[in-house]
Structures are given as structure tokens and as C-alpha cells.
Amino acid sequence: INAGKQTVTARRGASIFDSAQSFAMIRGGHVDLTVLGAFEVDVEGNIASWMIPGKLVKGMGGAMDLVAGAENIIVTMTHASKDGESKLLPRCSLPLTGAGCIRKVLTDLAYLEIEDGAFILRETAPGVTVEEIIAKTAGKLIVPDDVKEMTF
């Protein structure tokens, strides 16, 4: 079972260890990079990833430990909600998982970095315009002259 409490199948070459060892690795500072999802991220590098008030909560899992213990954190998420509301905000509205710990965000529309209280657009997804990203970003957004399109 994975951290989201879903059944998974191990493939050849997989490595498995128990949650106690996992948390020991995280809390001991042995995780250099983590990639995790989020409901919201803001221009101060705050992340909200564990609960939406009024909805069923499975638990925080190890997200708080990951954002507190990893050197390099990459958030992957959709740029906007199903309603079209931005998830990149001036200030998170949901309970925080971590404060001031996020510097890199990869959405379905763009790759952005967080610096000095702003999202900085570094790359756009193929076929996505800068104007679309501007329209779907609620927090302060800086668009440098050298923005690239992602290549895969």
C-alpha cells in the first residue's frame, strides 16, 4: 500500500521498506529530493497539501516530514482547479503543510520558481501561451524575456 493508502504492485527491481524506516530516512536528513503534489502553493513558498476543510481526510501522511526534511522540493500540481480557479496564490487559503519551503512548481501549464515573493515563469508546456499562464495565476507572476517552451 502506498502513502495514499492505494494498493500497488511491485515491479522487478523495486525496493520496499517499512514506514518506520522511511520516516527515519526523511527525519534523519537522508532525502535530498522530493516530489509531491499540492492543493495550493503561494508566492512565499508555502504549501497546502493535506486537507480541504469539510472533506474526508485520510491523514497528512509523510508530507509534513518531507517538506521539513528535504533539501530540494518540487511540487507537481494542476495550475487551476476544475472550476478554473488558480492554485498558485498570493497566500494559501487552506491549512499549511509547510511554510516557506517551496521553490519549484511544475504544473500542467508551466514550470515556475518562487523567489522574492513572486512566481517566476521559466518554461511553458508545449502549446501553452504566456497569456494563458498569466490569466490562470493569482499570485504575483514575473515573466522574464527568456521563457522557454518545455521539450520532452
Check pLDDT > 80 for residue 82: yes
Say which residue the cell 504544473 belongs to: 107
pLDDT digit string, tens, across residues 104-132: 999 999 999 999 999 999 999 999 999 99
pLDDT digit string, tens, across residues 8-32: 899 999 888 887 888 888 888 888 8
Q: Which is nearest to 73 in space by CA: 106, 107, 51, 43?
A: 106
Instruction: Give the C-alpha separation, 111 to 105, whole Å.
Output: 6
- For the chain, the structural domain boundaries read 19-149
pLDDT at 27: 83
Q: How many CB atoms lie within 10 A of CB 109?
A: 21
Check pLDDT > 80 for residue 79: yes
Q: Which residue has the higher pLDDT, 7 or 122?
A: 122
Check pLDDT > 90 for residue 145: yes
pTM to 2 decimal places = 0.83
Fold of 19-149: Glutaconate Coenzyme A-transferase (3.40.1080)
Residue 19 three-state SS: helix
pLDDT digit string, tens, across residues 47-70: 998 866 666 666 666 787 788 778
Query: For the residues of 57-97, what is the DSSP string, one character each?
Result: ----TTHHHHHHH-SEEEEEE-SB-TTS-BSEESS--SPPS
Task: Give whole-number Cα distances, 75 to 15, 16, 39, in Å.
Answer: 24, 24, 10
Check pLDDT > 70 for residue 38: yes
Q: Determine the average pLDDT of the residues in 144-150.
A: 94
